[in-house]
Amino acid sequence: MGSKNSITLLVVTILFLCFFITNSYAIEISEKINKESLSSLIEKEPKNFQFLSDVLTLKDNLDDLSLKTNIKAEYVPGEIIVKFKNEIFKINEINFLNNQLSFGVPSLDLFNMENGLLNVEEISNNYSHKILKNVYKFSYPEDSDVSSIIEYYKKDKNVVYVEPNYIFHLLNIPNDNYLSQQWALNQTNDCDIDAPEAWDIETGDSNIVIAIVDTGVDYNHPDLAANIWDNIAESLNGIDDDSNGYIDDIRGWDFYNKDNNPIDDYGHGTHCSGIASAVTNNSVGIAGICWNCTIMPIKIGGSYGIPLDAAADGIIYAADNGADVISMSWGGYFTSTLISDAIDYAYEKGAALVAAAGNSNTDMKLYPAAYDNVIAVAATNSTDEKADFSNYGNWIDLAAPGVDIYSTMPTYEVFMNDNYGYSQNYDTCNGTSMACPFVSGLAGLILSKNSSFSPDEICTILKSSTDTVTSDYYIGRGRINAYSAILKDSVPLAIINSSLANSGLTGVVNISGTANGSLFTNYSIYYGEGLYPTDWTTINFSSFMVNNSILAQWNTTLVDDGIYVLKLNVNDSNGDYSEDRLQVEVNNVINVFFVGGMGPSNYTYIQDAINDANDGDTIFVYNGTYYESLMISDDINLIGEDQ
């Protein structure tokens, strides 16, 4: 999956620079490298040469080329997340030695004493899956050098991974008797999700649980209270009656404040809850996509943001306590092993995971939306155009309304009232945060009609039933349509593996994926030119099922370089069909672009050359001083004149 990243050059004199950009660093790094070691470093660690926000400083001496990247990902001061290879210690065995925490690992105890380790906390008490075992949060003084601590832990043989306790951010944009204000459900120009038509068939089942993993929920709101999850196995008695590791969690859990009261003191989670499943047809307030689905309130953040450990615990709690759908209207431009593991855990337990794609108007991948087992949701406006703030790119699955979305707000004063001027009870918000619960609510509606659908089947239905969007950028298959989705009674699986989207395609490529189902008859795979093709050329037709294997081979030398979309259609004997699409880039011809110098076709600005370049192309920069903020995409080679 491609991504585009911001690189800031401050008074940069180009003498020698050649690097590939393919993945992202998550924390601040600083390295000294010379021209002999540069190529070998790139070859060994190409993933280390993609940056979200960077400063490049190139010195005159080729043997003293300094490369410094400065990532702006935020994390909780003094905190790290560590997964150990084995259960090398128990949390109740941790003790104080000379007024310092000690847990019996000689290789780390001395280091922790010297660095003032304050606390060790188990991330999850769930041991039913190996990916969740032996993961801990270590807390040091807030002024500690987290980067140095992480580097030390990385060298220890007992450690599987270590990362900062990153902070995710919410993805809204600050500033039934109300059904007329909910254009996204129904409007005259039909740029809506056709909710009333879907409601003629299905209005939702209270047995379907949608977890709103967010800032909490105003569970007493008159338009939400009747749909709030009730943990009937738990009582308010100070005892963990259901033995799930949480005492008195009668309506969810607060992982931000670590208590059993997931009340919303921010406003964001309540707004998302109303979109997904406000109580409907009750002569009060607004209508939710799913009238009767149950809302599980899980609080993982607030005005400070969303700590990594709280987010992971929230996802795990939702999966362990029966959530059918997990809605995540937050994210960050970094990857996390802990969050990835939590996502995979929930997916394996059968939860459909939905996440907002972000509001930065960029194709940089935002996580958790960009993980494979998550449905990534972009935002559209009331005319089915890409919302001007919405992220885009070939990692997006589909879009949903995200502009001027009217929904519930807490009935009491919260952060969004005091700091952003929002009203209590109900108000309008913008963002992919709002688009996300539209999809989560629709997933709940689909499951209400057929609770046997798997997460992959839900994703296939959602992507196979969309309406066309208007966008100069790729925002997924299209905008969701609830009526088209709810009509599907059977669903052959149609999945194109996303690996082809990671770089430019050359020569003959294998298109892999899945085309199967209990009533499967055949599949076809096509290509079309551009972001949203209207003309398609068949690559392969087959009446044989495929399960995560090769669907077709495509000779890309037979087409011009450029952007294409692959389309997989799968048919079954019921007359139903499913569809998946993947945006890819063909780049068989390697071009060289010149910046500076005296040539008649030379570029004045590096960014202009980058805009015209494709994967694998080279940009040759003549000596000079360039003041620019750059967006460098994929595998572009930058070469200085004196190489």
The per-residue DSSP string of 171-195 comes to --B---TTGGG-TTT--TT--S--H
Distance between CA atoms of residues 450 and 488, nearest Å? 10
* Contact assessment for residue 266 and residue 217, using Cβ atoms and an 8 Å cutoff: no
More confident of the two residues 42 and 419: 419
174 has pLDDT over 80: no
The DSSP output letter for 608 is: H
pLDDT over 70 percentage in the chain: 82
**Comparing C-alpha atoms, which of 475, 467, 328, 329 is closest to residue 391?**
475
**Residue 524 belongs to domain with CATH number:** 2.70.50.50
Residue 231: pLDDT band by 50, 70, 90 thresholds? very high
179 has pLDDT over 70: no
Asked if 575 and 430 sit in the same domain, the reply is: no
268 is catalytic: yes
Asked if 438 and 459 sit in the same domain, the reply is: yes
Asked if 375 and 454 sit in the same domain, the reply is: yes
Model confidence pLDDT, tens digit, residues 36-48: 333 343 343 333 3
SS3 content of the chain, % helix, strand, coil (to 5): 20, 30, 45
Q: Is the peptide bond before 368 cis (omega within 30 degrees of 0)?
A: yes
pLDDT value at residue 40: 41
Residues 191-200 have a mean pLDDT of 85
Name beta bridge partners: 380: 386, 401
**Residue 118 belongs to domain with CATH number:** 3.30.70
Residues 362-385 have a mean pLDDT of 94
461, 486, 511 — which closes off a domain?
A: 486
Out of 109-113, 316-320, 339-343, pick the least confident: 109-113
The DSSP secondary structure of 529-567, one letter per residue, reads ESSS-S--EEEEEESS-EEEEEEEEEEGGGS-SEEEEEE
Distance between CA atoms of residues 211 and 294, nearest Å? 8
145, 167, 189 — which closes off a domain?
A: 167
Q: What sign for the dihedral angle of Cα 463, 515, 552, 525?
A: negative
440, 463, 486 — which closes off a domain?
A: 486
Model confidence pLDDT, tens digit, residues 450-500: 999 999 999 999 999 999 998 999 999 999 999 999 998 888 999 999 999
Q: What is the largest CA-CA distance in the chain?
A: 81
pLDDT value at residue 575: 87
pLDDT value at residue 119: 85
pLDDT value at residue 102: 64
pLDDT value at residue 56: 23
584 three-state secondary structure: strand
pLDDT value at residue 100: 56
292: tokens are 């009767």
pTM listed for this prediction: 0.78
326 has pLDDT over 90: yes
Out of 16-25, 347-356, 374-383, 569-578, pick the least confident: 16-25
Domain that holds residue 146: 75-167
Distance between CA atoms of residues 125 and 220, nearest Å? 29
Asked if 296 and 420 sit in the same domain, the reply is: yes
Asked if 381 and 259 sit in the same domain, the reply is: yes
Distance between CA atoms of residues 539 and 344, nearest Å? 32
* Contact assessment for residue 368 and residue 331, using Cβ atoms and an 8 Å cutoff: yes
In sequence order, the 6+-apart residues with CB closer than 8 A to the CB of 1 are 365, 370, 393, 394, 395, 498, 501, 502
Q: What sign for the dihedral angle of Cα 114, 115, 118, 123?
A: negative
588: tokens are 């068989």
The overall average pLDDT reported for the chain is 83
Catalytic hit among 390, 433, 464, 471: 433
Asked if 364 and 288 sit in the same domain, the reply is: yes
What's the total number of domains in the chain?
A: 4
Residues 514-518 have a mean pLDDT of 95
Distance between CA atoms of residues 272 and 218, nearest Å? 11
Model confidence pLDDT, tens digit, residues 381-404: 999 999 999 999 999 999 999 999
23 has pLDDT over 70: no
**Residue 289 belongs to domain with CATH number:** 3.40.50.200
More confident of the two residues 188 and 399: 399
More confident of the two residues 378 and 596: 378
Catalytic hit among 214, 341, 561, 635: 214
Distance between CA atoms of residues 526 and 294, nearest Å? 40
Distance between CA atoms of residues 325 and 127, nearest Å? 22
Residues 183-203 have a mean pLDDT of 84
Distance between CA atoms of residues 256 and 217, nearest Å? 13
Asked if 306 and 195 sit in the same domain, the reply is: yes
More confident of the two residues 270 and 15: 270
* Contact assessment for residue 398 and residue 463, using Cβ atoms and an 8 Å cutoff: yes
Asked if 450 and 596 sit in the same domain, the reply is: no
Distance between CA atoms of residues 71 and 53, nearest Å? 6
Distance between CA atoms of residues 430 and 420, nearest Å? 13
Model confidence pLDDT, tens digit, residues 543-575: 999 999 999 999 999 999 999 999 999 999 988
Distance between CA atoms of residues 271 and 76, nearest Å? 26
* Contact assessment for residue 330 and residue 284, using Cβ atoms and an 8 Å cutoff: no
Beta strand pairing call for 53-57 and 4-13:
parallel
Asked if 456 and 506 sit in the same domain, the reply is: no
Residue 54: pLDDT band by 50, 70, 90 thresholds? very low
| Cα-only R_g, the chain | 25
Name beta bridge partners: 210: 295, 325
Asked if 63 and 110 sit in the same domain, the reply is: no
Asked if 217 and 307 sit in the same domain, the reply is: yes
Q: What dihedral angle (degrees, nearest 10) is formed by the CA atoms of 21, 22, 23, 27?
A: -20
Catalytic hit among 268, 320, 440, 561: 268
More confident of the two residues 117 and 18: 117
Stated as kind and residue range, the H or E segment containing 95 is strand 95-97
Residue 26: pLDDT band by 50, 70, 90 thresholds? very low
Residue listed under structure tokens 């209590």: 424
**Comparing C-alpha atoms, which of 481, 578, 475 is closest to residue 532?**
475
Residue 2: pLDDT band by 50, 70, 90 thresholds? very low
624 has pLDDT over 90: no
Asked if 479 and 498 sit in the same domain, the reply is: no
More confident of the two residues 595 and 129: 595
pLDDT value at residue 634: 62
Residues 147-152 have a mean pLDDT of 92
Residues 330-345 have a mean pLDDT of 94
118: tokens are 């304050």
41: tokens are 């470093």
21, 356, 420, 571 from 433: Cα distances, Å: 29, 5, 16, 34
